[in-house]
Amino acid sequence: MNSPIKDNIMYTPDQVSQMLQVSTNTVYSLINKGDIIAKKLGRVYRIPRSSIFFVFSGMDYDIYQKEKEDKKNIDKIQSELSLVRKSL
């Protein structure tokens, strides 16, 4: 059985700084600007894996997934729009 905690991998600012090859202060700056989404637990931050994607794409991973889904359905959407426009 999959545990939500097990599936939601979290990193420390130090780990993220190593992954992004930037200083830890830069990671804290990105957190403070909202570019990296982090949760403060007591005195330490924890950064979900999906938040790191946000740095590169400029959007949250959930939004990115939905955008991909929308692009798959673009033909259907355009078809429905055409039908609506014809009825106006």
**What structural domains does the chain harbor?**
8-57 (1.10.10), 59-88 (no CATH)
Q: Using pLDDT thresholds of 50, 70 and 90, give the confidence band for residue 60.
A: low
CB 7 within 8 A of CB 47: no
pLDDT at 5: 54
pLDDT at 4: 54
Mean pLDDT, rounded, for 4-13: 77
pLDDT at 2: 54
CA–CA distance, 88 with 72 (Å, rounded to integer): 27
Q: What is the pLDDT of residues 34-52, one digit of tens each?
A: 888 899 999 999 999 888 8
pLDDT at 50: 80
Q: How much is the pTM?
A: 0.58
Beta strands in the chain (DSSP E): 10-11, 39-41, 44-48
